[in-house]
Amino acid sequence: MNTVNQDNFNETMKGYIIRACRIAEYDSKKLDKILNGLRWSIDEMTMEDARREYENYRGGKIQFK
């Protein structure tokens, strides 16, 4: 059952990221960097900004090394 709501969305998202990092076998240092970046992103971006960022990534407009 999906119990995500406005009050617990960020914590739920962090849980997804932590699980993905465990599956990818990231070390604690890399996870900490990701969570710090996430903390900044949550503070500085709206949900609409985040969706636009994802769409840009899916569209190949954002590339990683």
pLDDT tens-digit profile of 5-54? 877 888 999 999 999 999 999 999 999 999 999 999 999 999 899 999 99
Q: Please check whether residue 33 lies inside any domain of the structure.
A: yes
Asked if residue 2 belongs to a domain, the reply is: no
Domain that holds residue 43: 9-58
Q: How many domains does the structure of the chain reveal?
A: 1
Q: How much is the pLDDT for 62? A: 96
Q: How far apart are the first and last CA of the chain?
A: 37
Q: What is the Cα–Cα distance from 63 to 34, expressed in whole angstroms? A: 17
Domain assignment of residue 54, yes or no: yes
What predicted TM-score, i.e. pTM, was given to this entire model? Answer: 0.77
Exposed / middle / buried, residue 17 (Cβ in 10 Å: 0-12, 13-18, 19+): middle
In a domain, 27, yes or no: yes
Query: Does 22 fall in a domain?
Result: yes
44 falls within a domain? yes
Tell whether 48 is covered by a domain: yes
